[in-house]
Structure 1
Amino acid sequence: MTLQFSLASAHPETVETPCVVVGVYENGLLTSAAARIDSAADGAIKRQVESGDINGKAGSTTVLFAPAGVTAQRVLVVGLGSQKTFDAARFQKVNIEAARALGGLPLESAVSWLADIDVPGRDASWRVRTAALASDYAAYRYTATVKPRNPGKQPQFASLAFAAGAEAQTGLDQAVAIAEGVRFARELANLPPNICNPVYIAEQAKAFADAHDKVGCLVLDEVEMEKLGFGSLLAVGRGSANKPRLIALEYRGGAEDEKPYAFVGKGVTFDAGGISLKPGPGMDEMKFDMGGAAGVLGGFVSAVKMGLPLNLVCVVPSVENMPDGDSYRPGDVLTSLSGQTIEVLNTDAEGRLILCDALTWTAQTFQPRAIIDAATLTGACVIALGKHASGLMSKHDDLAAELLAAGEAALDRAWRLPLWDDYQVQLDSTFADFANIGGKSAGAITAGCFLSRFTDGQRWAHLDIAGTAWDEGRKGMATGRPVALLAQWLIDRTEK
């Protein structure tokens, strides 16, 4: 469900709506909006607090139906936790839980006063943007290959207004655009690999470009890439019946002579591991191995929808990594587009092999101001950082600082890992310029070291999103990260 967002200027006790949303802290302290509702309803909320039916635990929800003295049909009371420790992350959480509760009620719209809650260090525009994005995230449903459940049985929650002044309009506009990018990324990554293959991603990119005046799209097939010398990328795709594509979207929102920023995203639409076959359990999740591609495409969509005054390119190398009689093998030596040779020690370390050619091509073709790549690159990063933070690597301290700050602002956080030359020796090879893996230790970092060899002279950073791009398990879905981080980084560039 795509939510429609707006701003509202009304009093919570008199607004005409199927539901108003207010907050209560753990100690029974009511927010100003909850206090107004409570006063109009002759203490209805405080009585529930005193009885223990409303405990204020962060994310808990309670519905009061048709309370006397209140115009709204329902009041959704959301627990905010401790007021002393209330912060940005908690604010995001309570808005997610509020939207989930609203989605379970038989109503089409609601008005929320949660964006009126004080969050230390955050203004009204940030609060509305974050609340809207959290709500849209919670409202997302995957339906592409699923029959509707109980269609037409009850109204579907479709629109949410936030009580805020005109100063929050910028945040709301940004939220609408970023939410579209996040949904684009989530939908693409959630699709099964028999639908979402390299050609499908290329078609989606082309359709987006055709629908937007300032956007162009270039797609290279395997024949064109062979002529150009994409030896590393093409080797990875040799074992699949679904042929590789290199997809490049270009947005011209800035001056004609202004160099673009560049995103590059790993687009392995299914990763069986190739000859170095992965274990069977959990292999279905390898449809998410194009999460980097989905993320940078979503970031691109967000930038276009916001109409940011800059130039941006988004490059996606897309392949399937499958075992076959023509698959590349451990022991093979590949010649990359850069001319550097690579000894393959493990065919399941394929993401870096397609990214290296894409990074070289992006730098040569566009001479960008900065290159950010995103990839579900290493299990080692999941072990190091879990599902909470993306791994960030860069030799450029200023660029790393920009991305870390963007992640904090967008609540799409990253953590910087070292990219010291000390680690480069782990890639030494007797038979090529270097190998594609560096051994068991520091796997996420040596993957970054590998990519750094293809970015000489470039202002470049790498995001390993293997832990953050999707939620594990049979019901796990794509998260849409790092769309919000990338969008915020671009917003910051326009404000600088």
Structure 2
Amino acid sequence: MNFDLKTLDLAAAASEKCDLLVVLLPEGFKPGKDALSALAALALKNGDLVPKAGKHLQLYQAPAIAARRVVLVGQGDGSARATRQAVQAVAGALKAPQTKRAVLCFAAEPAAGAVSAAVQAVADASYVYTATKTKVEARSLGRCVLGVPGATAVRTDFDTGVALVAGVEFAREWGNRPANHATPTLLANAAKTLAKLPGIQCKIHGPAEVARLGMGAFLAVARGSEEPLRFIELRYNGAGKDQAPVVLVGKGITFDTGGISIKPAAEMDEMKFDMGGAASVLGTFRALAELQPAINVVGLVPACENMPDGRAVKPGDVVTSMSGQTVEILNTDAEGRLVLCDALTYAARFKPAAVVDIATLTGACVIALGGVRSGLFANNDALASALQQAGETAQDPCWRMPLDDDYADGLKSNFADMGNVAGRAGGSITAAKFLQKFVGELAWAHLDIAGTAWKGGAAKGATGRPVGLLVHYLLEQSRTLAAAKPATPRRTARARAA
């Protein structure tokens, strides 16, 4: 959908012709003398509306207002979080078939991040999956105007929101597609489309190249499927060649049966979402193409299926990873860490400033944190703090989990350098300890998004998380790099002449 940013006060908003006018009214709202202000002031005075975030009052063909429908919405303290709650409360009106053009007007100067939050909430409310449906109402809302008292002051915030919508929806689209419409090859083709955007390059490695690289753990997982694996390598070059990149590694299991250690049938269809980490990396690159920050980023996605045919890896098998370390496969359903460990080893060749892997890795993380926060594991405090702050800013939060060395004891094996599981206790932590064995001294973080990458039940579908967290982290890193860069000495007229 299309978003526009426009300078509008309430008097001007009343003249906007649209199907739906949403007016955000914060606590302490000071009405003007226009018709819309008078209407809002009267509703607040009589108690028909309270400015608490999400409380709203719907009106139809109100006098002196051009919009057919008007919704007055409380915006609470006006923060980004309260703004998102306010817009989410009117999602039904935004998604209604008769809403083709909407205007969302701030009655007061928006707080930091509020415009971006509003853009994302509108897009989330109106999103419709259509890729594999023949009879479905497509997204009816085609254009939304964001009206603010001063457009220039919030342009950057608006642009960030629009870019995040592009990235999140790219991730959601591929996360939602059935596994037969999102095979490793099709996922690689989606990555190739990103290379048509400014600043992005894409390279796809097939089974032969992966074998030459010695990625024995990745190859072992892919063995049981007729679908050939793909190793996707994306690059965004926004800074100088001497600038070390941030490497993002996304788990790309396009369908996970569990392999020989097969999963129960109930809800196995949701294992199409097991490439949520991969989708978030692709979505992040989609947003980077819009924002063009001054930073270098590498994206790595090991993509394959985990299937149980006659060639599939078996419990008790020992495989050799790209790092040379051997792994005893105790449970073939712990396959995500196997594809990730080889990708993490490959990441070291870029001499990265930091490595962040993103994976729907463990059910244990869902038990620990539910669907609210992603699990964060890191061997570097500064990196962990930066990711946590980015998550709070993006309203895409994570929670740091422990990485004590004692948790790795259960990974010991009598027949290999390590086993790939360590029992039920602390399962998300022992999975992270497994991955840590392949990063060496690199600054590394692991995001377990098993609880946040998708929703089940009636609201079943991909969320696009943690694209918001990753993009805000990269934007902040680009600002930090720019601030640290020494200023170019100003040349005198004599020097220029010389």
Q: Report the Cα offset of residue 106 of structure 1.
A: 2.0
Corresponding residue for residue 20 of structure 1: 21
The separation in 2 between residues aligned to 1:360 and 1:480, in whole angstroms, is: 26
Kept after mapping to 2: 8 A contact 1:106/1:157:
no
The separation in 1 between residues aligned to 2:315 and 2:108, in whole angstroms, is: 58
Corresponding residue for residue 158 of structure 1: 143
Among candidates 58, 73, 84, match of residue 78 of structure 1: 73
Letter in 2 for 1:21: V
Letter in 1 for 2:29: T
Corresponding residue for residue 31 of structure 1: 29
Gaps of 5+ in 2: 481-498
The separation in 2 between residues aligned to 1:212 and 1:390, in whole angstroms, is: 29
The separation in 2 between residues aligned to 1:34 and 1:250, in whole angstroms, is: 51
Q: Report the Cα offset of residue 107 of structure 1.
A: 3.2
Instruction: State the secondary structure of the residue aligned to 1:381.
Output: helix
Determine if the alignment matches structure 1 residue 394 to structure 2 residue 395: no
Corresponding residue for residue 440 of structure 1: 424
Q: Once the two structures are superposed, what CA deviation does each residue of 1:16-49 show, in whole Å capped at 9, x if it has no partner?
A: 2323222457xxx6734699555544966358x5
TM-score relative to the length of structure 1? 0.90
Q: Once the two structures are superposed, what CA deviation does each residue of 1:225-266 show, in whole Å capped at 9, x if it has no partner?
A: 112211000100111111111000111111122221110000
The separation in 1 between residues aligned to 2:407 and 2:227, in whole angstroms, is: 35
TM-score relative to the length of structure 2? 0.90
Corresponding residue for residue 489 of structure 2: none
The separation in 2 between residues aligned to 1:265 and 1:455, in whole angstroms, is: 15
Kept after mapping to 2: 8 A contact 1:3/1:139:
no
Change (3 A) 1:274 1:39: closer
Letter in 2 for 1:64: L
Letter in 2 for 1:220: H
Kept after mapping to 2: 8 A contact 1:31/1:117:
no
Change (3 A) 1:57 1:105: farther
Among candidates 175, 199, 216, match of residue 189 of structure 1: 175
Corresponding residue for residue 485 of structure 1: 469
Kept after mapping to 1: 8 A contact 2:198/2:289:
no
Q: Once the two structures are superposed, what CA deviation does each residue of 1:283-335 show, in whole Å capped at 9, x if it has no partner?
A: 00000000000011111221121011111110000010011111101101110
Determine if the alignment matches structure 1 residue 248 to structure 2 residue 243: no
Change (3 A) 1:115 1:43: closer
Q: Once the two structures are superposed, what CA deviation does each residue of 1:149-185 show, in whole Å capped at 9, x if it has no partner?
A: 3679xx6453232324211000111111111111110
1:251-400 map, 5 Å: 251-364=236-349, 366-400=350-384
Letter in 1 for 2:188: A
The separation in 1 between residues aligned to 2:32 and 2:296, in whole angstroms, is: 45
Corresponding residue for residue 144 of structure 1: 131
Change (3 A) 1:178 1:24: closer
Letter in 1 for 2:9: A
RMSD: 2.3
The separation in 1 between residues aligned to 2:464 and 2:423, in whole angstroms, is: 30
Q: Once the two structures are superposed, what CA deviation does each residue of 1:467-490 show, in whole Å capped at 9, x if it has no partner?
A: 000011254110000000000001
Kept after mapping to 2: 8 A contact 1:23/1:31:
no
Determine if the alignment matches structure 1 residue 418 to structure 2 residue 407: no
Q: Report the Cα offset of residue 60 of structure 1.
A: 4.4
Q: Report the Cα offset of residue 70 of structure 1.
A: 2.9
Kept after mapping to 2: 8 A contact 1:22/1:34:
no
The separation in 2 between residues aligned to 1:8 and 1:95, in whole angstroms, is: 19
Gaps of 5+ in 1: none
Among candidates 416, 436, 439, match of residue 452 of structure 1: 436
Q: Report the Cα offset of residue 65 of structure 1.
A: 1.3
Change (3 A) 1:343 1:35: farther
Kept after mapping to 1: 8 A contact 2:130/2:136:
no
Kept after mapping to 2: 8 A contact 1:128/1:162:
no
